[in-house]
């Protein structure tokens, strides 16, 4: 959008005497390099009416100098304005009056056709800005009036009242980048507006009280003036003097001050919106039209350069706008308009200015939530959760409730995102278990009942505890999700280890008949068998069973006839019998001199499978083994043959140093993301990958042209071991650093303090007048409050390269 605007204006600039076509022909071969010509050659290329800048120098002078470099840079920008640049080598054979007698008094000359317009001492052309500024200044002699007194300004102003508008600018010096910007603007707009330029501070001071440190540009609204005794209205350009800013400013000045519309504000667009300014609609009614229009005009003058002002005729409007609204605010295209009730113009102006503020700060990505849990919980905040399926506890009801009934309590805090995310799963658990469990699902918001939670030793969130039979509560340490919590609650229905009383019952237990309804939650049933005298071994096992409560079903048998079991399963007492229900297998593990923690370990590793399907939930259990993973990625269930091949290798103990596993993309779609990291593009499936997570992060892929057979696999692994395979990728070893910087308040405070101390220093010395002191304190304060933030915002502006990009496209269009 900006692009189009720039184009239309840049085309309008090509004026008489500058032929676009010629330009192209002339420079076709030359490109953007400074051409080096002999004087004769140079003068023969000059076209009538065309401007050209030439630097004459001795042939034996150094081929590089600062000036030449700057000239070289100026080739392209000047070319945009149809001005050629050349270096003319004064060779002995060809004498020219422009070739100086001595080496060091060489000059640059500006010609139009063969007519000399101006000569420049080389020190005036100190950089590319100076070159462009000087050349344009010379060419636009009539369009840009240079003045040095206030009277000159007044004379120009008086002459143009009722006729044309004036663009007045003050620059600190000729040849600066601001001067160049003004000249470039004058090149475009010089015929439409009278440009007035000064370098005299005194002149600027007559116009406004603004800080004279910087360049200024004013637009004098002289054309609409009817009463010639009046002064022209003036609008100061707030932005720094750059070509693009001036262009944008003039575009806004050209736009009508006030437009009447009778359409849906949502649909209205003007040049203001396209230039990034908001629109303000003053809502008018037929009855008060005249007054409204006056108000709107007044507002429009005050907001000139800050917003576009329109008068919205409510009576002619087809869409409804809220009854009380008297102002409609449209921040940007495509964003819903805001309806406002504002009772004076100052509020309106404040609103517009605060919008500019919001726009600026809105760019700050530091304010954008990048915590997925916090963000998702926040986005879901308005959804009504069926909280009533759980019991809400308070300080008063807590103890009573957990004493009276077996309860699972979720401790959460309303402001803590993870606990709020888990609250949703907890609610799901309550819904799923409704009517099937005697367990009471309750929750307590520790944001409200902080003391109660602290008394339960809960100082972080979320925490789930199970209160059962008035005993010490058990903390839930599983995944914070529906499935695992249900499993925990269900398995806790029985008190593990279950005391088995007969061999018959033990057999039922091992077959999974005894706890048929729980088998789906615990794929393994563990039975500890002991002779009645093995007291310590039994105690250790009972402790381990307690520890694993909610994770796996455990039972204990130590009657006199325990030998029957020991013989049947070929186990020397004490021993563990592990019934794997899925595989219908019963293993035995001896338990001589094994302590509680080791028993827990044994049972834990017994829960691991030899060729598991890896899921989000079970991966951590396998990662604990600290071995490389051999993963078969599959879209759906895996081919039986592949499974067999791998299991055969397992049996032959070829895979002992690895964890062979497979991943079903249908169950675990995140697997696609993993494959993408390994392969960049998704490889054909199934595909087999070896991931060395724990040592060097190397990833190897089984060749996709080979079929996954026991033999091929074996050979591949052998080559791998020998280091004969190269990895397809290495996993990033990057540390997790802060995703974004924090506000550096310390330096903001420093900046303010240094400013404060300098401005306050004289004040401290004359602390006599209390009243004066009071006043000062406030003035200082406002300065302190304002300045550093302002500089910060400016920094932020610079960070966004909107302008740079736009500038590039602007130039680009000109070249066409």
Partner 1 sequence: MGLPAAAPLWGSPGLLLTIALHPALSLRPAKASAPQPRDYCILGAGPAGLQMAYFLQRAGRDYTVFERAANPGSFFTRFPRHRKLISINKRYTGKANAEFNLRHDWNSLLSHDAQLLFRHYSSAYFPDAGDMVRYLRDFADRLGLRVLYNTAIAHVALAKDRRAWNGHYFILSDQDSQAYRCSVLLVATGLSVPNLVDFPGSQYAEGYESVSVDPEDFVGQNVLILGRGNSAFETAENILGVTNFIHMLSRSRVRLSWATHYVGDLRAINNGLLDTYQLKSLDGLLESDLTDLAIVRDHVGKFHVTLKFFLEETNQSAEAIPLPQDDNDNFAMRVAYDRVIRCLGWNFDFSIFNRSLRLSSGAAFGKKYPLIKASYESKGSRGLFVLGTASHSVDYRKSAGGFIHGFRYTVRAVHRLLEHRHHGVPWPSTEHPVTQLTSSIIRRVNEASGLYQMFGVLADVVLLKENATAFEYLEEFPMQMLAQLETLTGKQARHGLFVINMEYGRNFSGPEKDVFFYERSVGHTEDAWQSNFLHPVIYYYRHLPTEQEVRFCPADWPLPRPAAIHHIVEDFLTDWTAPVGHILPLRRFLENCLDTDLRSFYAESCFLFALTRQKLPPFCQQGYLRMQGLVGTESLRQHGVESGLLRGYATTDGQPEDSSRQGGHPPSPVQPPDSNKEEL
- Start-to-end CA span in the chain (Å): 18
CB closer to partner 1, 36 vs 635? 635
We find the least distance from the C-beta atom of residue 31 to partner 1, in angstroms, to be 37
CB closer to partner 1, 250 vs 453? 453
Integer Cα distance of 560 and 394 in angstroms: 51
We find the least distance from the C-beta atom of residue 541 to partner 1, in angstroms, to be 23
- CA dihedral sign, ordered 670, 672, 676, 678: positive
We find the least distance from the C-beta atom of residue 738 to partner 1, in angstroms, to be 4
We find the least distance from the C-beta atom of residue 42 to partner 1, in angstroms, to be 51
CB closer to partner 1, 168 vs 426? 426
CB closer to partner 1, 34 vs 479? 479
We find the least distance from the C-beta atom of residue 488 to partner 1, in angstroms, to be 12
Place of tokens 């409609």: 328
CB closer to partner 1, 417 vs 553? 417
CB closer to partner 1, 72 vs 789? 789
Exposed/middle/buried for 631, CB within 10 Å: 0-12, 13-18, 19+?
buried
Of 714, 521, 522, nearest to 630 (Cα)? Answer: 714
Cβ–Cβ contacts within 10 Å for residue 471, how many? 8
Integer Cα distance of 528 and 578 in angstroms: 9
Integer Cα distance of 143 and 154 in angstroms: 17
CB closer to partner 1, 555 vs 628? 628
CB closer to partner 1, 258 vs 418? 418
We find the least distance from the C-beta atom of residue 676 to partner 1, in angstroms, to be 7
Rg (CA), the chain: 42
Report CA-CA distances (Å) from 235 to 172, 258, 278, 350, 547. Answer: 20, 16, 18, 18, 79
Own/partner contacts of 296-299, CB < 8 Å, gap of 24 or more, are: 296/258, 297/257, 297/258, 298/345, 299/345, 299/348, 299/349
Helix (H, G, I), strand (E, B) or coil at 685: coil
We find the least distance from the C-beta atom of residue 599 to partner 1, in angstroms, to be 19
- Kind of pairing, strands 698-701 and 729-730? antiparallel
Asked whether 506 and 527 are in contact (CB, 8 A), the reply is: yes
We find the least distance from the C-beta atom of residue 208 to partner 1, in angstroms, to be 25
CB closer to partner 1, 30 vs 621? 621
We find the least distance from the C-beta atom of residue 393 to partner 1, in angstroms, to be 12
We find the least distance from the C-beta atom of residue 367 to partner 1, in angstroms, to be 6
Place of tokens 């000159």: 152
Integer Cα distance of 458 and 479 in angstroms: 18
CB closer to partner 1, 290 vs 735? 735
We find the least distance from the C-beta atom of residue 684 to partner 1, in angstroms, to be 11
Own/partner contacts of 397-406, CB < 8 Å, gap of 24 or more, are: 398/444, 398/449, 398/452, 398/456, 401/440, 401/442, 402/442, 402/467, 402/473, 403/467, 403/470, 405/438, 405/440, 406/438, 406/439, 406/440, 406/466, 406/467, 406/468, 406/469
DSSP H or E run through 753? helix 745-765
Q: Which two tokens stand for residue 752?
A: 């303010």
Report CA-CA distances (Å) from 496 to 409, 427, 543, 675. Answer: 21, 26, 10, 41
CB closer to partner 1, 446 vs 577? 446
Phi, psi of 782 (to 5 degrees): -65, -35
We find the least distance from the C-beta atom of residue 74 to partner 1, in angstroms, to be 36
Edge to edge, what strands does the sheet with 729-730 contain? 659-664, 629-634, 687-691, 698-701, 729-730
CB closer to partner 1, 479 vs 586? 479
We find the least distance from the C-beta atom of residue 360 to partner 1, in angstroms, to be 10
CB closer to partner 1, 318 vs 367? 367
We find the least distance from the C-beta atom of residue 350 to partner 1, in angstroms, to be 11
CB closer to partner 1, 359 vs 370? 370
CB closer to partner 1, 133 vs 629? 629
Integer Cα distance of 461 and 373 in angstroms: 14
Q: Which two tokens stand for residue 127?
A: 């950089």
- CA dihedral sign, ordered 350, 353, 355, 358: negative
We find the least distance from the C-beta atom of residue 789 to partner 1, in angstroms, to be 6
We find the least distance from the C-beta atom of residue 551 to partner 1, in angstroms, to be 10
Integer Cα distance of 765 and 784 in angstroms: 20
Integer Cα distance of 470 and 25 in angstroms: 97
Torsion angle defined by CA atoms of residues 388, 391, 396 and 401, in that order, rounded to the nearest 10 degrees: 160
We find the least distance from the C-beta atom of residue 345 to partner 1, in angstroms, to be 17
**How is residue 613 annotated by DSSP?**
B
DSSP H or E run through 528? strand 524-529
CB closer to partner 1, 469 vs 673? 673
Integer Cα distance of 131 and 76 in angstroms: 12
CB closer to partner 1, 97 vs 381? 381
CB closer to partner 1, 212 vs 623? 623
We find the least distance from the C-beta atom of residue 453 to partner 1, in angstroms, to be 10
Helix 243-254 × helix 2-12 angle, to 10°: 90
């Amino acid at each position: 959008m900006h692009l189009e605007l720039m184009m239309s204006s840049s085309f309008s600039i090509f004026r008489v005497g500058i032929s676009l076509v010629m330009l192209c022909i002339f420079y076709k071969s030359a490109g953007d390099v400074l051409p080096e010509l002999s004087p004769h050659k140079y003068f023969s290329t000059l076209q009538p009416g065309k401007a050209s800048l030439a630097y004459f120098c001795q042939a034996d002078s150094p081929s590089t100098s600062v000036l030449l470099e700057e000239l070289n840079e100026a080739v392209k920008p000047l070319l945009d304005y149809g001005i050629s640049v050349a270096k003319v080598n004064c060779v002995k054979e060809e004498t020219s009056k422009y070739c100086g007698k001595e080496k060091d008094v060489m000059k640059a000359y500006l010609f139009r056709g063969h007519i000399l317009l101006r000569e420049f001492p080389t020190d005036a052309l100190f950089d590319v800005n100076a070159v462009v500024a000087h050349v344009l200044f010379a060419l636009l002699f009539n369009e840009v009036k240079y003045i040095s007194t206030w009277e000159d300004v007044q004379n120009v102003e008086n002459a143009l009242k009722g006729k044309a508008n004036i663009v007045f600018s003050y620059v600190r010096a000729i040849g600066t980048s601001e001067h160049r910007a003004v000249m470039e603007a004058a090149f475009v707009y010089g015929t439409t507006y009278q440009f007035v330029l000064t370098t005299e501070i005194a002149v600027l001071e007559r116009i406004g009280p603004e800080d004279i440190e910087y360049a200024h540009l004013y637009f004098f609204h002289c054309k609409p003036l009817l009463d010639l005794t009046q002064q022209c209205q003036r609008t100061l350009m707030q932005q720094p003097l750059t070509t693009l800013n001036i262009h944008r400013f003039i575009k806004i000045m050209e736009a009508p001050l006030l437009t009447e519309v009778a359409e849906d504000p949502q649909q209205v667009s003007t040049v203001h919106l396209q230039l990034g300014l908001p629109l303000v609609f003053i809502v008018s009614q037929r009855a008060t039209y005249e007054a409204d229009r006056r108000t709107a005009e007044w507002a429009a003058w005050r907001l000139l350069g800050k917003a576009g002002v329109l008068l919205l005729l409510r009576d002619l409007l087809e869409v409804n706008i809220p009854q009380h609204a008297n102002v409609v605010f449209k921040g940007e295209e495509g964003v819903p308009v805001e309806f406002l009730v504002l009772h004076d113009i100052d509020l309106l102006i404040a609103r517009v200015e605060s919008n500019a503020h919001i726009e600026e700060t809105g760019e700050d990505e530091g304010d954008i939530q990048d915590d997925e849990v916090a963000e998702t919980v926040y986005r879901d905040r308005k959804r009504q959760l069926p909280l009533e399926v759980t019991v809400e506890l308070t300080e008063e009801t807590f103890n009573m409730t957990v004493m009276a009934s077996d309860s699972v309590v979720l401790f959460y805090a309303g402001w803590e995102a993870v606990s709020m995310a888990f609250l949703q799963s907890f609610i799901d658990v309550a819904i799923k278990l409704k009517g099937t469990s005697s367990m009471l699902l309750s929750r307590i918001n520790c944001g409200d009942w902080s003391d109660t939670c602290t008394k339960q030793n809960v100082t972080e969130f979320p925490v789930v505890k199970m209160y059962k039979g008035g005993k010490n509560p058990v903390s839930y340490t599983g995944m914070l999700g529906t499935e695992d919590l249900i499993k925990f609650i269900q398995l806790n229905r029985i008190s593990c280890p279950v005391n088995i009383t007969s061999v018959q019952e033990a057999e039922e237990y091992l077959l999974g008949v005894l706890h048929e309804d729980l088998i789906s939650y615990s794929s393994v049933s563990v039975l500890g068998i002991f002779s009645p005298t093995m007291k310590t071994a039994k105690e250790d096992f009972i402790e381990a069973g307690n520890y694993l409560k909610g994770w796996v079903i455990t039972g204990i048998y130590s009657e006199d006839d325990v030998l029957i079991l020991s013989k049947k399963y070929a186990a020397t007492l004490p021993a563990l019998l592990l019934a794997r229900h899925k595989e219908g297998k019963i293993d035995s593990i001896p338990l001589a001199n094994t302590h509680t923690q080791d028993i827990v370990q044994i049972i834990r590793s017994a829960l691991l499978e030899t060729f598991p399907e890896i899921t989000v939930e079970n991966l951590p259990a396998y990662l604990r083994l600290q071995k490389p993973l051999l993963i078969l990625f599959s879209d759906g269930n895996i081919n039986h043959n592949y499974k067999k091949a791998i299991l055969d290798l397992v049996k032959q103990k070829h895979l002992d140093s690895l964890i062979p596993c497979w991943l079903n993309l249908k169950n675990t779609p995140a697997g696609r993301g993993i494959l993408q990291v390994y392969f960049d593009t998704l490889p054909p499936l199934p595909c087999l990958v070896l991931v060395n997570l724990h040592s060097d992060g190397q990833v190897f892929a089984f060749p996709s042209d080979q079929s996954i057979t026991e033999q091929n696999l074996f050979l591949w692994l052998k080559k791998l071991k020998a280091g004969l395979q190269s990895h397809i990728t290495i996993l990033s070893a990057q540390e997790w650093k802060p995703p974004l910087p924090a506000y550096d308040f310390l330096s903001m405070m420093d900046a303010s303090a240094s400013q404060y101390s300098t401005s306050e220093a004289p004040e401290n010395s004359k602390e006599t007048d209390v009243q004066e002191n009071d006043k000062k304190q406030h003035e200082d304060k406002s300065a302190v409050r304002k300045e550093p933030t302002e500089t910060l915002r400016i920094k932020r502006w610079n960070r966004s390269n909107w302008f740079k990009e736009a500038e590039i496209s602007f130039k680009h269009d000109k070249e066409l």
